[in-house]
Chain A
Amino acid sequence: MSDFDELDPRDAARLREAVQALPREVEPAQDLWPGIRAEIALRPAQGHGGPGHGGPGHGAVRWGGYRWLAAAAALVLITATTTWTLARRSDPAGGATLGTEFASYERSAADLEASLQRHRAGLDPNTLAVLERTLRTIDGAIAEARVALAERPSDPAIQAFVASAYRQKIDFLRRANDVASAIGP
């Protein structure tokens, strides 16, 4: 039983007709991105003149306007630093934290691969071959970086390389899913 059935039949018919006349997709009436971009452009980049870094007067004016934002950011920073410090104490190499981060990447990748698998039947063999070849390349890079990380677990550069390779895998899988859902059945 639909909600329409609770209405007067004539009202229900009118409502049904009005609903059917609605477009399936509606673009936002106002594109907000140009305004956001303009606002970003007005603000100095971090480390290039933000509060405490920029010209004296400029920074002071902005600080007044963004006091609460800054306080919130400071709170987040303190919390994050405390958490990180405690984690480091429990595992001097930071292995547990990194392990959690990489496990999170792997879960996301597994979810996206499962989603891609569902579209598999609708993709032609050439497209599938491209996707599989590319995934093998990325997985190879991840494996290589993780071997290096096992040898030097506290090297922040190698940690960053592993994270970067995972991010590229997630990004690629998202794109592959986008393609599969667009051209698949």
Chain B
Amino acid sequence: MTMRPLSIPRAGPHTPLLSQVRATARSHTLVIVLGVLVTIGALDGPALHAQGPAAPMVKITRGWALDRDGLVKVFNAVGTVQVIGWERDSVALVGSISKAARFFGGGNRRGIKMGIEGDQGAATPRAEFVLYVPAGAVIWVRGAATDISVEGLSGGVDCGSVSGAVRVLGDPRDLVAESMEGTVEIIGSPSVLRAKTASGALLWTGQSSDATLGSVTGSIETLRGPLGRVRIETISGTVRLGGTLAADAEVVIESHSGDVELRLPAKAPARLHVDAARFVGAPGKPDGGAGKRPGARAIALNSPGERSPLLTVRAFKGEVRLLPAEPARTP
């Protein structure tokens, strides 16, 4: 499933919409937040309705006060959830839900929980949520056929969908992003990253000192870097490791039957340990030893020292290819 961006104005921390809101509302009272909600709702309402399914939808707006590091939990089984960080200590929700659905939401300054529910046995209700939350908040989103996008957050982010796409833009402190069938795309540099899919593709552009990426059949690709401690696991997905390596990088890739492409910078020193069914593009020789598989070898790239980046690649059936780095591309 591809991401369907909502046609609402981008309201990240530095966009004109937020500047406009800032200019007109200085305090952080709930009353003013509601005023902002009404304004945004008036701007976006028709567009949201226009993108909704054939089933009748009704517009909702809500607002809550929330500490800047508070927690927001969102449940939406079908539809979209778009979370945008802003420099306020409040949460604003603009959206639409199936006419037959019931919205629930509430909490206190430390945490808010929201979602929709329908009647037992009825079709799963649909919701299109756009949430403005404090940039330092901790966000938790769960959905099934739900596209989730998050941007402009510096706190913790944990979002998971079954068949929807997950897209995270920005540098949250800790990030967990998962989808079974949908694409997971991360453009940013969380300190700690955990991203997983089953059949969906996983693309990460950024850096992290501690990252774990996983898939079952979906492809996994990293770009830009520098990569620190990274672990990549797949059953049959193709792995493309690109980007620079941090001086103390330790990258481990484990693949059952997927191919692995290593696109390392031309002159960067690195120690490479490979155990694969096949290995292509290596300037070294097999390190020998009875019982070793054809693609098993240790390679020193560009005269590495003992503390140079270490890459360990294990591929049971897949082929490992060492290729020149691609020119930088814009995600």
> Is A bound to B?
yes
Contact partners of A33 in chain B: CB under 8 A: 174, 192
Q: Is the CB of B160 within 8 A of A145?
A: no
Interfacial residues of chain B within 246-287, with CB under 8 A of chain A in the complex: 248, 250, 254, 256-257, 275
Beyond A48-B248, A130-B198, A157-B275, is A182–B214 a contact (Cβ under 8 Å)?
A: no
Beyond A168-B235, A171-B214, is A130–B110 a contact (Cβ under 8 Å)?
A: no
- Which of chain A's residues has its CB closest to B78's CB? A124
Which one of A25, A45, A48, A172 lies within 8 Å of B216 (CB-CB)? A172
Q: Is the CB of B144 within 8 A of A141?
A: no
Interface residue tally of chain A, by bracket?
35 or more
Contact partners of B147 in chain A: CB under 8 A: none
Cβ of A37 under 8 Å from chain B: yes
Contact partners of B209 in chain A: CB under 8 A: 41
Write the A123-149 contact mask toward B (1 if CB under 8 angstroms, else 0): 010110011011001100100110010
Which one of B75, B110, B138, B192 lies within 8 Å of A182 (CB-CB)? B75
Beyond A179-B142, A183-B143, is A144–B198 a contact (Cβ under 8 Å)?
A: no
Q: Is the CB of B160 within 8 A of A141?
A: no
Contact partners of B107 in chain A: CB under 8 A: 23
Q: Is the CB of B144 within 8 A of A183?
A: yes
Number of interface residues of B (CB under 8 A): 48
- Which of chain A's residues has its CB closest to B250's CB? A45
Cβ of B71 under 8 Å from chain A: yes
Q: Is the CB of B163 within 8 A of A127?
A: yes
Beyond A126-B163, A134-B180, A168-B216, is A45–B314 a contact (Cβ under 8 Å)?
A: no
- Which of chain B's residues has its CB closest to A167's CB? B233
**Shortest beta-carbon distance from B99 to chain A in Å:** 20
Beyond A48-B307, A137-B216, A164-B233, is A27–B257 a contact (Cβ under 8 Å)?
A: no
Contact partners of A37 in chain B: CB under 8 A: 191-192, 210
Q: Is the CB of A25 within 8 A of B144?
A: no
Beyond A141-B256, A179-B160, is A165–B235 a contact (Cβ under 8 Å)?
A: yes
Chain A contact residues: helix, strand, loop or mixed: helix
**Shortest beta-carbon distance from B285 to chain A in Å:** 19
**Cα(A161)–Cα(B254), bound, Å:** 8
**Shortest beta-carbon distance from A168 to chain B in Å:** 6
Contact partners of A111 in chain B: CB under 8 A: none
Write the A154-167 contact mask toward B (1 if CB under 8 angstroms, else 0): 01011011001101
Contact partners of A160 in chain B: CB under 8 A: 314
Cβ of B293 under 8 Å from chain A: yes
Contact partners of B145 in chain A: CB under 8 A: 126
Beyond A27-B110, A48-B307, A144-B256, is A175–B235 a contact (Cβ under 8 Å)?
A: no
Interfacial residues of chain A within 65-93, with CB under 8 A of chain B in the complex: none
**Cα(A72)–Cα(B144), bound, Å:** 46
**Shortest beta-carbon distance from A3 to chain B in Å:** 26
Cβ of A56 under 8 Å from chain B: no
Which one of B173, B174, B314 lies within 8 Å of A157 (CB-CB)? B314
Write the B28-40 contact mask toward A (1 if CB under 8 angstroms, else 0): 0000000000000
Interface centre among A26, A37, A165, A183 (most CB of B within 10 A): A183
Cβ of A34 under 8 Å from chain B: yes
Beyond A130-B162, A137-B236, A157-B293, is A168–B144 a contact (Cβ under 8 Å)?
A: no
Cβ of B111 under 8 Å from chain A: yes
Interfacial residues of chain B within 170-212, with CB under 8 A of chain A in the complex: 173-174, 178, 180-181, 191-192, 196, 198-199, 209-210
Contact partners of B236 in chain A: CB under 8 A: 137, 141
Contact partners of B293 in chain A: CB under 8 A: 157
Q: Is the CB of A161 within 8 A of B142?
A: no
Q: Is the CB of A165 within 8 A of B256?
A: yes
Q: List 8 A-B contacts (CB under 8 A).
A: A33-B174, A45-B248, A127-B180, A141-B236, A145-B316, A175-B178, A179-B180, A183-B77
**Given A130-B180, A161-B256, A165-B256, 17 further pairs, Cβ under 8 A:** A26-B110, A33-B174, A124-B124, A130-B162, A130-B199, A134-B216, A141-B236, A155-B291, A161-B254, A161-B316, A164-B314, A168-B214, A168-B216, A176-B180, A178-B160, A179-B144, A183-B143
Nearest first, the 3 A-B pairs at minimum CB distance are A182-B142, A134-B198, A161-B316
